[in-house]
Amino acid sequence: MIRFIHCMKKRPELTTAEFREYWNGNEFADLISQMSDIVGPVTIIKNLTFNIELNNALREARGADEPYDGIMEIWIESAADLKQLETDEAKQVVSEMETYQKQFVDFAASKRFFTEWEPTGGLG
């Protein structure tokens, strides 16, 4: 299983509420759906940081930076399925996604990468 993970930080001039409006917007959902149709992922998971004091305590205990504002995972069956990202249709959707995300994501402070998931010891 291949996972694309995008850890997103909000643009510094935006409030958390404004970031979440873009995150939960229909346009973002439509673009994710279009990408899903192209790549055929097993699942797509979107997570927003849970704004609780315990997160601050965890961060402060290790002197860490502020957490990401949102994390999106796209699970893809195999590396062979990534070839779908090379199509003109996929490149167009990726371009539209980046244009949309520029409105609320600080690209320089965000991270995105592929991982290879291997189940271990019965843990999901």
- Tens-place pLDDT, residues 16-41: 999 999 999 999 999 999 988 888 77
Q: How far apart are CA 105 and CA 47, in angstroms?
A: 14
Q: What is the pLDDT of residues 39-63, one digit of tens each?
A: 877 889 999 998 888 888 888 898 8
* pLDDT score at 123: 58
Beta-carbon contacts of residue 109 (< 8 Å; ≥ 6 apart): 9
Angle between helices 26-39 and 88-101 (to 10 degrees): 160
Structural domains of the chain, ranges and CATH numbers in brackets: 2-116 (3.30.70.100)
